Amino acid sequence: MFPRLGYLKYFAYLQGHAPMKLMQFNVEVSVSINEINADGMMLVLPVDATPGPKLDALLGKLPVWLKADFSTVARKRKFEAKAGSSLSFDAPDGTRKSLVCVDAKAGAFELLVAARKVMDSGVFDAKVKRLAIDLTHAGLKTQEFADAFVSAAAAKIYKFPKYKTETKTLAKGEKPAKDEQQSLRLCLVVHKSEVKSVEAVVARATDVTTAGTNLVRWLAKRAGNDLTCKNYIDYLKRLSRDRKWGFKLHGHDALTKMKAGAFLAVVKGSAHKDYGIVEITYAPKGKSTKHLALVGKGLTFDTGGHSLKASAYMLGMNGDMAGSAVALAILNIASLEKWPVKVTAYLAIADNMIGPLAYKPSDVIVSMKGTTIEIIDTDAEGRMVLADTLHYAAKSKPTLMMDFATLTGACVRAIGTTYSGVFTNRESLHADLIKAGKLSGERVWPFPMDKDFAECLESTVADLKQCREKGGVDHIEAAQFLMHFAGDETPWVHVDLSAIEHPGGLAHVATDENGFGVRFATTFIREQLGIK
């Protein structure tokens, strides 16, 4: 058995709130399944899409540890070996055994879905604690299968923190039961020649899911009165101190001096001046010639302001800071993996509240860039805080700049919640963006950014309209608005996170709040900046 890749303990916390549930997730890579003492065993078998092999032919492919038990159960259940099918059962020796048939031509998204589903039925429902996955039949797909199953396991083992109190009546002297600690030890069985490459894939998949995707899921699920601007910024400050990142807060006074009128307009209705642009920097050892700028929308709650949201649309607006969490997660991964490039996250932490001082439709404000903006809809606040933040980030002249935001309902209506929309000032990046989405399993689609889309933003009283009064294609028009502040000097990509919530989960994540964006962005960034 080869040395395990490490014992991962990942946690995060907020001031005044108990630590997030500790996750124990151990991954090993081995060349022999017989050396593993496991209570769960799984074979992943690539098959043609349709039809699958007949049962007798299938049995001929199975290893000794699975064949006898599987034969009896498969015949009884009339199992058909076709792409997407799986069979899990408890063997006489008490081991949970599973066969997973995967389309040999499946892409990353399909593999992640398949891995998530079988992890539910074959592993976690059966409370398996030590799982061996046989990938020796995967052929050229070994690394892709390893990524999918490790990612699905790491996503599943995480549980959202809850605010429920103990309701059970305790007997005298009885203590409340502690939450069961989530843990899984995973061993991937591969051919000896594949060990090093699979170890590298597993390490990356673990980092991206635990330190990235799960971090986004945790932050975006916090209650609005828990993850306030103050608590969020305090958490970022502590995290930066612990990780030895550079930390700078541009609070109310600093933003006033910076003339960040677009940002400050949004927070005029806030009861507390605890907002700001948080600038966090990871700097690699040695000199780096490349600089990645990550901008994130961090609205800890969005009422819509004077353009008040209806109740149904206001529910869940505590998650309107997910874009900032994605940007933070990418920086966290860069630090953990010691990327050889400087990475700076510019997080626009704010809230959009109603009140006598709140900004109003028909107001005209002056942005940090000096552009005057006619306010049309106070619920289009995301583009306002991002305008100043993008302009500030662009001043550092980064090699690449990306922003992440739960920005428009129009993007959801245009593309649904299984893809996210991407927009760029470099049309030449379209193919690379699509490719990164397909390789990561977090799919995106680029929208056109022709100049005439911005004609609706022409104002008779200011340099620019915030948005049009009604109609149009707001996801594209919002991106046009942002591009004015991002500028043209730096390659820039805007990600409208329409897929950040999807009913029933998406790809490898089984919950509605799925942390979309981290896998896609890290895949894209690595390719663009030459990070191995």
List active site positions: 309, 383
Integer Cα distance of 47 and 392 in angstroms: 52
Burial bucket for residue 481 (CB in 10 Å: 0-12, 13-18, 19+): buried
- Whole-number Cα distances in Å, 21 to 105, 159, 218, 494, 531: 37, 7, 10, 33, 32
Count the neighbouring beta carbons within 10 Å of the beta carbon of residue 523. Answer: 21
**Tokens representing residue 243 in the block:** 């990780």
- Whole-number Cα distances in Å, 292 to 18, 134, 282, 340, 528: 33, 38, 10, 11, 10
**Tokens representing residue 99 in the block:** 């066969």
CB 55 within 8 Å of CB 81: yes
- Whole-number Cα distances in Å, 202 to 328, 437, 532: 22, 19, 14
* Total count of residues recorded for the chain: 532
Number of helical (H) and strand (E) elements in the chain, helices listed first: 16, 18
Integer Cα distance of 305 and 151 in angstroms: 39
